[in-house]
Structure 1
Amino acid sequence: MNALEHSAPTFDEPAVVVGVDGTQIALEAVRWAAAEARLRRLPLRIVHAAPYAAGHDAPAVRRAQDILARAFTVARRAEPGLRSSTHGTEQPPVDALLDAAGNAHLLVLGMGGGERPHEILIGSVALEVSGCARCPVTVVRGRLQHPDRRPLLAGVDEPATDEAVLDVAFSEARRHRDRLLVLHAGGPRHDTEPAVQDDLADQLTSWADRYPDVPVDLRIVPGPPAPALLAAAVLARMVVLGTRGRTAPARVLFGSTSRQVLRRCGVPVTVVSPHAHPRETGLVASAERRRW
């Protein structure tokens, strides 16, 4: 067991999981994840993947332990009463995070980088994980707090096909006492006609009935969804949207709405796959898993 772990990692236990890599944005993600864990009354699991420490090279192991120790200290200071644990592994980052998030309610990642696509898209762990995780994945890049109350923004194609997105969005809005803005974009101009708006509003009725304490606004705009979401996100606390899963590599990196929003959005973005469920096991990593 890692000497920094305050308890043995129990991946079958529901938790909020956060991945760290030693960067400042990762520590911001830890603070965000700690607050979410407190609200959900769940423990926080801090994970660092360090394939560079293979072979138990002493300086590399110390570096990995220092990264975990700093993250643990940030979590403890942010939420003193929260039960937190650390876990280090020599697995590749994507495999390690998917493994550690096995029964997680939420996986949180920080994503840094510049504004040019090759700086933050190629090889990005956050983008790869958000495309295939079995639980919702929140990517933290920008603003975490606002002086005023801002709504939660959910992007949907059709309510009937975005049930997982709406389940997460309504639950999150209730948890934080947010107003929920549901945005539909990407269709032809006739999508803004009253009949279409009425049809989408009717489809949202079941969620509104289940969450009567969540104020809901529906906005329908023509044109591509990514620019519409990014424009609306300027006044949002967080964005929730879906992904259709893995496709061809070029489309995974540059084509999907979720990845365009992740690349450019200034507020945290939660990505939900159609099969996401907080208590599902998730993808199974290699049976050979070494820990220090």
Structure 2
Amino acid sequence: MHTLVDRSLIVVGTDGSTTALGAVRWAAGEAAARQVPLRIVHVAPPHDPDPMFGAPDPERDFGGDVLLDASAAALETARDCVIAPQYRRGDVRSVLRREASDSGLLVLGSVGRDRLGSLLLGWTATELAVTAPCSVVFVTSHPDVTAPTASVVSRVRPVLAVLGGAEDTWGEWDMIVAAAVREARLRCTTVLLASSADPHGGRTGPDLSERIAQWHEEGPDVRIDSVSRRRNLPEFALSLSHAARLVVVGPPEHDRVHPLGTMGRTVHTLLHSSGRPVMIVRNSPIGEPRSAADASPSSLSAGHTD
């Protein structure tokens, strides 16, 4: 199974909106569970410095208030969370990419069906989903998006790992499952794999059951189940996501479709309609080719596992 880069920081962006505060609370729970610091970033529009020394700066005052509110929300969720508020100026996409360059996870408020969160609009969300230097989680304002917990409810709601993409490879699926297992372990729950692969050997080549058995051997403390549907993976994943704690998917640029451009079909459907946090996993630089060897392991076979 792929070993994910485990950087010692989580970054969350906020603009003061309700959706962004929901993302801050979710990120604080993640930071506390992982025992890593949380960097809360507010990005103000760029402008030339005021030539008058001591002149009022409403944007900085607003940004300070936003960061105070976000810090309070984070501490309400996780009192032991170590917080580092950061006020920045510039293009929000460029700044957040730069701030996330040394992190293991970037967390952002997401868009919903027929609604646009004020943090991310249009191509901003799409670009960060594709170009962020680390894994990204988009969090909706749904009430059930707070800290990972070992409650009875979390045990019966799995982490959903969606194994899709236009060019499926075992290497990418290893990466997705590794992330899903880690997230399930944090939440004391199980992993449910959703794919469009033929359980008896389909377009991905080898069967699936032995690969699942291998994943389970590498994380024996986390139960892994699998379901598949030959067609319409986005809608299938969406139907399963409503009962999931978290949804884990691969890089959206591997699942392109016109006219969505670089936003993949599955990612686009989940971000706009599921109401659950969606984690887009990547552990290699943007544009780095996936190994051809990952696509054809020599000793795999198919089926489901408990």
CA distance in 1, matches of 2:106, 2:8: 11
Q: Do the aligned residues in 2 keep the contact of 1:53 with 1:60 (CA within 8 Å)?
A: no
Distance 2:230 2:257 in 1: 27
Deviates more, 1:256-265 or 1:97-106: 256-265
Gaps of 5+ in 2: 1-6, 51-55, 287-306
| Residue 186 of structure 2 corresponds to residue 175 of structure 1 | yes
User: 1:129: Cα distance to partner?
Assistant: 0.9
C-alpha deviations, 1:116-155, integer Å up to 9, x for none?
7999986253332121212111100133269723111000
Residue equivalent to 1:164: 175
How much does 1:269 deviate? 0.4
Amino acid at match of 2:158: P
The TM-score with structure 2 as length reference comes to: 0.76
State the one-letter code of the partner of 2:272: R
Question: Is the partner of 1:174 in helix, strand or coil?
Answer: helix
Report the counterpart of residue 153 of structure 1 in structure 2.
160
Which residue matches 2:213?
Answer: 205
Match of 1:44 in 2: 38
User: What pairs up with 1:108-147 in 2 under 5 angstroms?
Assistant: 108-112=107-111, 114-115=113-114, 123-141=122-140, 142=142, 143-144=144-145
Partner of 2:230: 222
- Bigger drift between 93-102 and 243-252 goes to 243-252
Contact 1:164–1:275 (CA under 8 A) maintained in structure 2: no
TM-score normalised by the chain length of structure 1: 0.79
Question: How many residues were matched structurally?
Answer: 260
Does the 8 Å CA contact 1:121/1:253 hold for their aligned counterparts? no
Q: Return 5+ residue gaps in structure 1 as ranges.
A: 1-12, 278-292
Identity of aligned residues (%): 29
Quick one: distance in 1 between partners of 2:244 and 2:78? 24
Counterpart AA for 1:231: S
Is 2:58 the partner of 1:59?
yes
Q: Distance in 2 between matches of 1:67 and 1:124?
A: 24
CA shift in 2, pair 1:86/1:28, >3 Å:
same
Higher RCO (C-alpha 8 Å, min separation 6): 1
Cα RMSD between the aligned structures? 3.0
Change (3 A) 1:201 1:39: same
Paired amino acid for 1:219: V
